[in-house]
Chains A and B, each alone.
Chain A
Amino acid sequence: MASLDVALSVKGLTKKFDISAPFLNRIVERKPKRYLCAVDDISFEVPKGGCVSLVGESGCGKSTVARLVVGLYAPTGGAVEFGDHRDGNALSVQMIFQDPYSSLNPRWRVRDIVAEPIRELNLREGEAAINARVDELLRVVGLSPKDGTKFPHEFSGGQRQRISIARALGGEPTFLVCDEPTSALDVSVQAQILNLMRDLQDKLGLTYLFISHDLSVVRHMSDRIAVMYLGRIVEDAPTEALFDEPLHPYTRLLLDTIPNLEAPKRARDAAAGEVPSPIDPPSGCTFHPRCPLANARCKAERPAILSVGDGRRVACHAVEEGRG
């Protein structure tokens, strides 16, 4: 059982998707069964009241981890354990999805959308209590109780994301999984949503697992960052340490490539290469074709994720050998 301070502990989590050809093709064309390993043996912990972020480029498996954590997918291997709540019950978990345009039922009124988890989990007795709770939730996320009678299409992207936050809070969670909650929003609206999420964390003592590809957003929100590449965590460190001194070559590449407003027209290191297909990942360390420090060992042997002190973990032969 996880300790009391840990909200979520993920151990050796693995998810494989079956991407084989249809049955008849396999028989006739003698094609083998094929699997895509979206998440490959990852472990991390989220402390209570903290915010841990998973970052990486598309196809690195970060959204799959989010779905595994909330139980939308069943893991192929490994375990997802939630810490205890104060009253001994397991923590309750809710999720905020990326696209506020497709995650709200267009035929339901906002009041019904927000009330659904309350009704489903029997958290309030009677219609009056449910309505009062919905009004309160709408106010918490910065909407007006009058908005409850409207339909989702009457709202802008930012307001819709507020509705999905209200719906998530309706289940009285202590743990929120946020899968790219602001990537569909404009920057000024993104700032509003990030500020709201921060305020809610302070007020309600929420714990976040935050999934994003945007390093500046991640830096703003999280205490700890895990960088993912092709289904594995390559570096895991406290936010400030990661930004001050990135260890893994992939983390360095990511930090080099983000545009910096304070240094306009900086010559960005346009690193060559792209993320390889996860269907047929490279041998050894999957980053070796793009890595400036790669040698023969990196091509052959997959690096394990090792602790390097100060609460940091890195999976890299070069760092381990001091070549970096």
Chain B
Amino acid sequence: MLMQVDRQSAVWSGMPVAEPVLEVRGLRISFPTRHDTVNAVSDVSFSIRKGEILGVVGESGAGKSMTGLATLGLLEPPGHISAGQIFLGGQRIDNLPDRQMEKIRGRRIGAIFQDPLTSLHPLFTVGAQLVETIRLHLRLTRAQAKRRAVDLLKEVGIPAPEDRVNDYPHQFSGGMRQRVVIALALAAEPELIIADEPTTALDVSVQAQIMALLRRLCDDRGAAVMLVTHDMGVIAETADRVAVLYAGRVIEIGSVEEITRAPKHPYTSGLMGSIPPLQGRVPRLMQIDGAMPRPDAIPAGCPFNPRCAKAGPRCLSDLPPLVEIAGTRAACWLYSGGVN
């Protein structure tokens, strides 16, 4: 049903619809347990166009990292995609065998993970790691690959790249290391970059530099970026559109301006209200009581209903559809027929 809404809205807006780089439709990720099956992601649909940054935001356990891993084909068994499709440039990739997925990963999809120290091999120089990645995906000689490695390090803003290319990861600081990881992700000029909490392990002043770099690379190269983070501030500053995830579902999706200015879903507005404001002081923060339900105990109806101040009888029984409201789409009965 969600898919239909998706297509309809594209037709309604009357805009020339370019083929999105990434399209995820009705994704469900399941983990079989001894008695039962648990869905870490229940129903997630979105698309990312060329040169666009989509922020995927949510609290821990919302399924945002799972969505990124599923796109990369890196779900740890027994986790698997049990419904839905993932399209990369029009080609379906969620059902490809591992051998073919290996060629897509790194070549067409680049990945940046949270901790730059564990994403790099400590016993090889960053140059060796870059050359390996470049030669795996592109037909270049060793010398050409090395030149390209230096160019990449320069592009991500590492000073004296000719010398630093021979250094080991421990010789770089945290921010510089994350730049190396970004260079690795860019090595084969991928169409899509998946950045999973790329700045969480970094200090704020370095975080600003890395986000500016990601934005610039996205603009220059026209890559599509899926930015997975829990930090609404990072999203507000870097992303073009935002998808808010809650308990494995997209509950609101729309442009950054619209969602930060006037969030529609009670969870999104609660999330925005619980961030201490920078302008002016508030005596008390807006508070969402309780915590996100665990994947094996998601309540019936709207998954947010136990924490929602506006919940009515309908929210307890029926799952709200994602509907268009003034520029964004939200899944809440308040906007589709009332809570009663």
Contacts and interface: CB of A to CB of B under 8 A. Distances in A.
Contacts of B208: 256-257, 259, 268-271
Given A188-B59, A258-B233, A274-B206, 16 more contacts: A158-B291, A186-B230, A187-B271, A191-B273, A191-B287, A213-B204, A215-B278, A216-B276, A220-B277, A220-B282, A261-B233, A264-B236, A268-B208, A268-B212, A270-B208, A270-B211
Interface string A167-208: 000000000000000000011111110110010000000000
A4 to B, nearest CB: 28
B327 to A, nearest CB: 14
Q: What is the size category of the interface that chain B forms with chain A?
A: 35 or more
Given A259-B233, A265-B256, A191 B209 contact: no
Contacts of A253: 205
A220 B285 contact: yes
A323 interface: no
A264 B270 CA distance: 18
Interface in B194-253: 203-209, 211-213, 230-234, 236-238
Contact of B236 (A156, A158, A195, A260): A260
From B209, B231, B285, B292, name the one whose CB has the most chain A CB atoms within 10 angstroms: B285
A219 B282 CA distance: 10
Contacts of B33: none
29 contacts: A57-B205, A186-B60, A187-B230, A188-B270, A188-B288, A191-B274, A194-B276, A194-B285, A215-B204, A216-B276, A220-B282, A220-B285, A259-B231, A259-B237, A260-B236, A261-B232, A261-B236, A261-B260, A262-B260, A262-B277, A264-B256, A269-B208, A270-B211, A270-B212, A270-B213, A271-B208, A271-B209, A274-B173, A274-B176
Contacts of A57: 203-205
Contacts of B70: none
Interface residues of A, number: 43
Contacts of A217: 276
B243 to A, nearest CB: 16
Interface in A217-269: 217, 219-220, 240, 243, 253-254, 256-262, 264-266, 268-269
Contacts of A262: 260, 277-279
Contacts of B308: none
B225 to A, nearest CB: 14
Contacts of A159: 291
Given A219-B278, A219-B281, A259-B236, A195 B287 contact: yes
A-B pairs with the 3 shortest C-beta distances? A259-B233, A191-B274, A220-B276
B174 interface: yes
B205 A264 contact: no
B296 to A, nearest CB: 14
A105 interface: no
Nearest to A188: B288
Contacts of A254: 204-205
Contacts of B279: 262
B285 A195 contact: yes
A19 interface: no
A272 interface: yes
A191 B205 contact: no
Nearest to A194: B285
A58 interface: yes
Contacts of A274: 173-176, 203, 205-206
Contact of B278 (A186, A198, A258, A269): A258
Contacts of A143: none
B35 interface: no
Interface string A272-297: 10110000000000000000000000
Contacts of B231: 259
A259 B291 contact: no
Contacts of B234: 259
Interface in B272-304: 272-279, 281-282, 284-289, 291-292
B257 interface: yes
Contacts of B176: 274
A187 B291 CA distance: 11
A266 B274 contact: no
A258 B238 CA distance: 12
Contacts of A265: 236-238, 256-257
Contacts of B209: 270-272
Given A158-B291, A265-B236, A265-B256, A191 B60 contact: no
A216 B206 contact: no
Given A187-B275, A188-B274, A274-B176, A264 B237 contact: yes
Interface in B112-152: none
Contacts of B205: 57, 253-254, 257, 271, 274-275
Contacts of B230: 186-187
A188 B271 contact: yes
Nearest to A191: B274
From B203, B270, B277, name the one whose CB has the most chain A CB atoms within 10 angstroms: B203
Contacts of A260: 233, 236-237, 278
Nearest to A219: B276
